Amino acid sequence: MDIINQTNRTMLFEEINPEKLDLITIVGDVKGIDSLSDDKVKEINEHLLVRSFDEFLDKFSPSVYSFFNAVNQKVMYTLKKPENIPDEAISEIKIDHSNDFLRMLFTLIDTKRSQGITNVDFKFENLLDMISPKKVMDDIRQVRKEIHYMYGQYEKLDDGDPKKLDVGDKLNVMFEEASRNYNNVMAMLPLAIEDIKTRLLLGRAQEETASEAIQVGKLTIGESGELKIIEAPKSDNNELMLLDESSSTDLTQVFADDYDSLSESPSPYVQDLVVRTFCPLPAVQSEVDTAVEVQNYNTYLEFYKTAKDDFVKTVKPLVEKILGVKMYFDQYAIKNKGMQPSMLITNAKLDMLVKSSNIPRLETYLNTVNAKNDFTDTIWFGIVPSVELENTGNVKVSRERFRGNDKVVKQDGNSMESLSMLLNVIKDYKIQVFFSFESGEDSTFSSMATAGIDKYVDKCAMLTRKEYSEFAIPSAPNFTIIPKEKSGVIIDSRMLQTEHGVELSKEKEDILKLWIEGVYVGASYVAAGIVAAYQCPEYLRAAFKNVNRDYPGVRFDIEAGDNSLRVVTTMTKEISGFTNTIKDAINRKNFGFIFSSENAQLQDSDIKRITVYKARSMAMSEDGYDSIYKTLVSTYIERLLRFQTGDFKHENIVKFFSNNPSSQKSKWLGSRGSVNSIIQEGDDMSYIIDEKSNMCHIDLVFNGNVKNLEVMITKGTSAMRA
């Protein structure tokens, strides 16, 4: 570990934010150069390297851009900043922890993980309404409560008191967050919807949807002792009582002034809305034009539903990438951090990266970080999500009798051609690439449970028996965050004006609902995440007693013994399991990095997480496909051998493999018995030097299976180590 201090840096071949710099741009022209400067590598790391999910959000600030189209009266959303539209007409919506859609997905993942129940039993609808106006308003009420509390603390303290200044700083941050949406009409719509509902349906019980006309009164005892409610006397200035006595009128003024100073085009209606939202003052206006308010409510609701629908459809591919990065880092779930996984994001589309004009740039970068005896920035793994998976056997319909799925223009996936071009480049740099297929109903656990793995095997057939086969790792199935059939979100119901007042309609056609159409995470993110995590000895120590702190987890075989039940993903079970027929087929083919959602127990405790069932590359072996650890051990030994022998000097290779107790081979043999020992029981290592061809042939034996490694020898003049 003191020579090769990390074996888990991963390169994500994906575009996250087209407005940010990418690898091709930063590397630049490489004509006539073999390697980048240290300064250039440092610059690449500053822009593209992340060590945590929060750092990823911070560096790449994934965003959606919106603008209004006056022709069709709609909000338009796009992932790329629109050109030819003035900047002031474009709103940038950051997709981060404060975005309600992303926050809802995080809550859903955490809840599902804590309950550990399958998709069929999980109540998705209880969490999906987090993006409805009602839940958005609930969040604002919490913020409001905190602002009022902090303001109360602030007012109590004397001017100049250091504590008052600290509280002032906190209030400034709260106001900053509250004021972010003053100019965002779309963010104000849920407030307007809930505000009208609150004022028109005032006095109704929580679960009622109708309201009668209200006249605020007071309870009295009449002359004969009878109880009656009489109309409350109006005050001279025609204002009603405060709902929240503790709310200070000063705070009302602060919000009004704050809105006026920050709003680009102030509107008295929106100013009142902001003030009412954060300082609930007038309970009811003396005169409310009910017909206008009902019409406003229904217009706002329709507009919000349509806009939210368009937003979700636009943002979903980006959100699936964001969730993928989060799931990669989530797999390293331990308190005692050791070799923490890191991710270098190319921020460029794969087909752009593998263009013949750009390949030299990628090669020069990889030559710089992967072909030197400095292993700080070495890339060990790669992730390619969303590889196209064509469907076969779809019957062409000449006449549509019933409404079916709209023919959607598919998001740009990665082609098999682009993937094989990439593999052809990275094989020389010994990077093992996890790739997964397009997300959707055809690549889920449910689909694999019924259809098996044949379509994946057929699709990947072109990657076998190639020089790069051992570096290609197909990962399946993809993870379902929200199933398509359970992805409906009820926004709210239309409002009706009746002779008694107003009420929310109970008719089915008046309930506004949008469909998210399912959210999925590519299996390649989780596969790379779990393999990167178990490279760390500290991570392995959380699951095993016999771990050697001096070695990474390159020789750890997750398929051996009960390893897969000890090292589990953070993803919760999705289905009740695969049938024996499907499992037999998977075992017979021994194909791919396959995840399993099975009932299992370890030491009398149930495993409620998804586990790894197979961990194989596209390299063929006697029993199907080869284990990924064999390639990883081979790469690790080759890199260490190059370092310790001064670039494969003849006499130093002999010393490396000698029986001398101080040789590297002797040290490895002496430390067998750990779960991450480089040479395990049943393993062996031997070499033959071919003087004629100047090659050293190394045989690595894993449980009786031999893997060959060849290195070119450098002839030395003395027996001294370089």
Place of tokens 């020898």: 713
Q: What is residue 17's predicted lDDT score, i.e. its pLDDT?
A: 96
- What does the alpha-carbon distance between residue 274 and residue 440 come to, in Å, rounded to a whole number? 41
Region 468-482 average pLDDT: 97
More confident residue, 79 or 265: 79
| DSSP three-state, residue 697 | strand
Q: What are the backbone angles phi and psi of residue 6, rounded to the nearest 5°?
A: -150, 140
- What does the alpha-carbon distance between residue 162 and residue 343 come to, in Å, rounded to a whole number? 42
Region 365-380 average pLDDT: 95
Share of the chain above pLDDT 70, in %: 88
Is the pLDDT assigned to residue 618 strictly greater than 80?
Answer: yes
Region 508-515 average pLDDT: 90
**Of 10-14, 56-60, 259-263, 318-322, which gets the smallest average pLDDT?**
259-263
Q: What is residue 210's predicted lDDT score, i.e. its pLDDT?
A: 56
**Of 26-40, 248-262, 271-285, 589-603, which gets the smallest average pLDDT?**
271-285
**Are residues 251 and 145 in contact, defined by beta-carbon separation less than 8 angstroms?**
no
More confident residue, 525 or 603: 525
- Here the tokens at position 237 are 């200035």
Q: Write down how long the chain is.
A: 722
- What does the alpha-carbon distance between residue 253 and residue 241 come to, in Å, rounded to a whole number? 17
Q: What is the pLDDT of residues 417-437, one digit of tens each?
A: 999 999 999 999 999 999 999
Q: What is residue 380's predicted lDDT score, i.e. its pLDDT?
A: 98
- What does the alpha-carbon distance between residue 127 and residue 130 come to, in Å, rounded to a whole number? 6
Query: Would you call 143 exposed, middle or buried from its count of C-beta atoms within 10 A (0-12, 13-18, 19+)?
Result: middle
Nearest to 481 by CA among 613, 574, 597, 569: 574
**128 pLDDT tier (thresholds 50, 70, 90):** confident
- What does the alpha-carbon distance between residue 441 and residue 460 come to, in Å, rounded to a whole number? 19
For the chain, helix (H) and strand (E) counts, in that order, are: 23, 26
**Of 30-39, 147-156, 606-615, which gets the smallest average pLDDT?**
147-156
- What does the alpha-carbon distance between residue 77 and residue 90 come to, in Å, rounded to a whole number? 10
- Here the tokens at position 711 are 């290195």
Q: What is residue 402's predicted lDDT score, i.e. its pLDDT?
A: 59
Q: What is the pLDDT of residues 186-210, one digit of tens each?
A: 777 787 888 888 878 764 544 455 5
More confident residue, 506 or 382: 382
CA distances, 5 to each of 340, 444, 620, 646 (Å): 11, 36, 31, 18
**400 pLDDT tier (thresholds 50, 70, 90):** low
- At 502, the amino acid letter reads V
Instruction: Give me the chain's average pLDDT, please.
Output: 87
Q: What are the backbone angles phi and psi of residue 195, rounded to the nearest 5°?
A: -65, -45
**Of 325-329, 455-459, 483-487, which gets the smallest average pLDDT?**
483-487
Q: What is the pLDDT of residues 104-119, one digit of tens each?
A: 999 999 998 888 888 8
Dihedral sign from CA coordinates of 558, 564, 566, 569: positive
Region 445-466 average pLDDT: 95
Structural Rg of the chain based on CA atoms: 31
**130 pLDDT tier (thresholds 50, 70, 90):** confident
